[in-house]
């Protein structure tokens, strides 16, 4: 399969992390890297298609992830002019998550240019070590024993993160397990990083319960689609953790039952959960 690689012509640094010293010099270093680097050599491929790719590579002595996509068409041009593309949304979403006390990868740069005559954009972030929650469900700790102390710690932290997002006035339309990296499993405390923040957006106050149920449903749909449904006991621990954060222990049991029922309705409405591409390919 042909894989889209980062730009190597007409390179422009759209956005750069805060740097010590001369920002223009720092941008020049990045332009030089992209102009002369053969990304097909030495990079670890997380995802690939003719239209996008996700690579991990050591760049300027840093362990980084490069997310590249085609940026052609009127919509992409409009987003570029208004700085509202996927890369900008990921950047702002990650910063917002960290501002409310959750973990998300640090964004390093947004690079625009062309590859084989076509416009492409690349978002560079720091690499987050660990296994995705999807991997843990399908092959790891949760698969082995959803009631083990590490699994319980992961469930609690997953639920706490969802509650924190909702209580802060936003929700994540794409809160699927492959977008959550278990950096530390615990016990007693797990640490989870939300590595894709593109779909985080505000919700209307009247839609709070709907937004929350949708995030819980996202945790179920992806694993079911690859034949590894999330264990019910593990899911219930996640929802119980949300309940304790949202309504307190006195009302947690009845609230959890209602929320699990609402989430199941979202799952049923979704239809066939089979993904176009296996999210475990390249997953850690």
pLDDT of residue 280: 85
In a domain? residue 90: yes
Domain boundary among 126, 147, 162: 126
> Do residue 122 and residue 136 come from a single domain?
no
Which CATH number does the domain housing residue 91 bear?
3.30.200.20
Stretch 178-201: mean pLDDT, rounded?
A: 95
Q: By the 8 A CB rule, do 236 and 244 touch?
A: no
In 71-168, beta strands by DSSP E: 107-115, 118-126, 131-132
SS3 97: helix
In a domain? residue 54: yes
In a domain? residue 234: yes
Own/partner long-range contacts of 277-282 (Cβ < 8 Å, ≥24 apart): 277/47, 277/49, 278/226, 279/134, 279/176, 279/178, 279/222, 279/226, 280/134, 280/135, 280/138, 280/139, 280/178, 280/226, 281/47, 282/45, 282/46, 282/47, 282/48, 282/54
In a domain? residue 3: no
pLDDT of residue 196: 96
> Do residue 150 and residue 264 come from a single domain?
yes
For 209-218, write each residue's pLDDT tens digit. Answer: 999 999 999 9
In a domain? residue 20: yes
At residue 38 the predicted structure's pLDDT band, cuts being 50, 70 and 90, is: confident
Q: At 9, which helix (H) or strand (E)?
A: strand 9-16
Q: By the 8 A CB rule, do 63 and 126 touch?
A: yes
At residue 76 the predicted structure's pLDDT band, cuts being 50, 70 and 90, is: low
Q: How large is the angle between the packed helices 232-246 and 208-225, nearest 10 degrees? A: 160
> Do residue 173 and residue 221 come from a single domain?
yes
CA dist., res. 11 & res. 31, Å (int): 6
> Do residue 135 and residue 264 come from a single domain?
yes
Tell me the DSSP string of 147-199: TSHHHHHHHHHHHHHHHHHHHTTEEETT--GGGEEEEE--SS--EEEE---TT
Total domains present in the chain: 2
Residue with tokens 């995802």: 47
CA dist., res. 64 & res. 54, Å (int): 10
**Mean residue pLDDT across the chain:** 93
For 103-141, write each residue's pLDDT tens digit. Answer: 999 999 999 999 999 999 999 999 999 999 999 999 999
CA dist., res. 197 & res. 76, Å (int): 19
User: Quick check: 1 pLDDT over 60?
Assistant: no
User: Quick check: 240 pLDDT over 60?
Assistant: yes
CA dist., res. 178 & res. 163, Å (int): 19
User: Quick check: 224 pLDDT over 80?
Assistant: yes
> Do residue 68 and residue 150 come from a single domain?
no
For 138-173, write each residue's pLDDT tens digit. Answer: 999 999 999 999 999 999 999 999 999 999 999 999
User: Could you tell me the residue range of the domain that residue 207 belongs to?
Assistant: 131-270
Tell me the DSSP string of 191-208: EEEE---TTEEE--GGGH
Which CATH number does the domain housing residue 241 bear?
1.10.510
For 81-90, write each residue's pLDDT tens digit. Answer: 656 689 999 9
> Do residue 208 and residue 265 come from a single domain?
yes
pLDDT of residue 82: 58
Q: By the 8 A CB rule, do 99 and 90 touch?
A: no
Give the end-to-end CA distance of the chain in Å, rounded to a whole number: 21
Domain boundary among 104, 126, 148: 126
> Do residue 63 and residue 97 come from a single domain?
yes
In a domain? residue 108: yes
> Do residue 86 and residue 136 come from a single domain?
no
pLDDT of residue 27: 95
In a domain? residue 40: yes
Stretch 78-97: mean pLDDT, rounded?
A: 85
The HSE-up count of residue 231 (CA atoms within 13 Å, CB side) is 20
Instruction: Report the share of the chain in percent with pLDDT over 70.
Output: 95
Domain boundary among 78, 102, 126: 126
In a domain? residue 257: yes
Residue with tokens 């399908």: 138
CA dist., res. 35 & res. 125, Å (int): 19
CA dihedral 276, 125, 190, 138 (to 10 degrees): 20
Smallest Cα–Cα separation from 113: which of 20, 6, 192, 202? 6
> Do residue 91 and residue 71 come from a single domain?
yes
pLDDT of residue 3: 82
């Amino acid at each position: 399969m042909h894989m889209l690689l980062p730009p190597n012509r007409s390179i422009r640094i759209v956005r750069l992390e805060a740097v010590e010293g001369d920002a223009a010099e720092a941008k020049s270093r990045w332009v030089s890297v992209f102009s002369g680097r053969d990304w097909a050599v030495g990079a670890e491929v997380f995802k690939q298609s003719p239209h996008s790719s996700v690579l991990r590579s050591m760049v300027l002595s840093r362990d980084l992830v490069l997310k590249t996509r085609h940026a052609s068409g009127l919509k992409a041009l409009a987003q570029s002019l208004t700085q509202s593309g996927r890369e900008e949304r990921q950047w702002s979403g990650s910063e917002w998550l960290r501002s409310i006390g959750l973990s998300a990868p640090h964004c390093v740069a947004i690079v625009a240019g062309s590859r084989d005559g076509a416009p492409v954009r690349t978002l560079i972030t720091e690499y987050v070590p660990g296994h995705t929650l999807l991997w843990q469900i399908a092959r790891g700790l949760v698969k082995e024993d959803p009631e083990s102390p590490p699994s319980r710690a992961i469930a609690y932290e997953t639920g706490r993160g969802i509650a924190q997002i909702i209580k802060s006035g936003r929700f994540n339309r794409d809160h699927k397990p492959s977008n959550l990296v278990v950096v530390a499993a615990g016990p007693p405390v797990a640490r989870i990083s939300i590595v894709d923040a593109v779909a985080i957006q505000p919700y209307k106050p009247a839609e709070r319960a709907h937004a929350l149920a949708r995030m819980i449903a996202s945790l179920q749909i992806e694993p079911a689609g690859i034949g590894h449904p999330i264990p019910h006991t593990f899911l219930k621990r996640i929802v119980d953790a949300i309940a304790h954060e949202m309504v307190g222990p006195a009302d947690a049991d009845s609230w959890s039952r209602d929320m699990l029922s609402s989430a199941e309705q979202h799952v049923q409405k979704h239809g066939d959960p089979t993904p176009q591409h296996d999210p475990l390919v390249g997953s850690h």
